[in-house]
Amino acid sequence: MRTDPSGTLTTLTRLGFAARGLLYLVIGFLVLRTGRTEDPAGALAVVAEGGGRTLLYLIVAGLLGYGLWRLSDAAFNIERHEQGSKGLRERIGAAASGISHLFLAWQAVRLLRGTGGSGSGGTQEGAQTALQLPGGQLMVAVAGLVLLAVGLIQFKKAWNAEFLKHLEPGIASQPWARWTGQGGYAARGLVFLISGGFLFAAGFKEQSSEAGGMAEALAWLSPPWDAVVAIGFIMFGLYSLIEARFRVLNDVPVEGLARQARSKLPV
């Protein structure tokens, strides 16, 4: 029986949306119930401790599918982004998202093999490595500015609810789809702004200890804002589950791309 590679990738992508949703739910509930702050890598470790290997295998498959789908979108514009600078920014964002989720999949594989850790401290380690390179101070500062821009984009998505255009029309018109998405994107926007500020300060002061990612940003927030953002993360987790079922996904023309690649090979 012949399988459809495009359909398989679409199925794995939906599983990836569900995996992303699970991780955000874990992060949000950890803050609310214990005050513990984690990033997606840390949430993976929590899931590995409590959910067992089968669930972790499903998460690996989903994150791989989602990462490859996002990279395919960046390379081949399968999501039909408009021409011009806006479309280019969206495709660059898709590439960054794809790479980050493939990295998460690799971390999940390490947990399966028993070689992974909690994932904390990665931002400071990365900043320290970058600062040791020629021009590293500028690189870290620019990375902070990029995160600040990403935060503003998340707020724009929350305000305009433009994320709804990717859902099936019958679901996009539901108030609960709008509210969960808006709350989730707003929470992500705030965390990206804080993380970007940390990273810019690390570059400006040339001190890697100033850098911080999602976990550090959540820890930096004082009550009740930490709980507000945690609730926002739970809303984003729920919205990701909605996307897992109801997002309109354009198929990746896997076989067509493979034929094009083979046609360019020397005979």
Mean predicted confidence (pLDDT) in 182-197: 98
Asked if residue 27 lies in contact with residue 38, where contact means CB atoms within 8 angstroms, the answer is yes
Task: Give the model's confidence band at 77: pLDDT under 50 very low, under 70 low, under 90 confident, else very high.
Answer: confident
Task: Give the model's confidence band at 158: pLDDT under 50 very low, under 70 low, under 90 confident, else very high.
Answer: very high
Cα torsion 205, 122, 92, 10 to 10°: value is: -170
At 62, the amino acid letter reads G
Model confidence, pTM: 0.90
Nearest to 230, CA basis, from 5, 25, 77, 15: 25
pLDDT at 237: 98
For residue range 12-71, list pLDDT tens digits in order. 999 999 999 999 999 999 999 999 999 999 999 999 888 778 999 999 999 999 999 999
Whole-number Å distance between alpha carbons of 52 and 103: 20
pLDDT at 24: 98
Domain locations along the chain? 5-258
CA separation (Å) from 247 to 8, 145, 240? 16, 30, 9
Least confident of 21-35, 122-136, 147-161: 122-136
pLDDT at 238: 98
Whole-number Å distance between alpha carbons of 184 and 235: 5
Q: Does residue 184 register a pLDDT over 70?
A: yes
Least confident of 63-67, 127-131, 151-155: 127-131
Q: Does residue 263 register a pLDDT over 80?
A: no
- In this structure, the number of other CB atoms found within 10 A of the CB of residue 111 comes to 23
Task: Give the model's confidence band at 2: pLDDT under 50 very low, under 70 low, under 90 confident, else very high.
Answer: very low
Nearest to 26, CA basis, from 42, 9, 7, 5: 42
Q: Which residue intervals of the chain are DSSP H helices?
A: 5-34, 40-76, 85-113, 122-131, 136-160, 169-172, 175-205, 214-220, 225-246, 254-263
pLDDT at 51: 73
Q: What is the mean pLDDT of the chain?
A: 89
Nearest to 56, CA basis, from 28, 19, 27, 29: 19
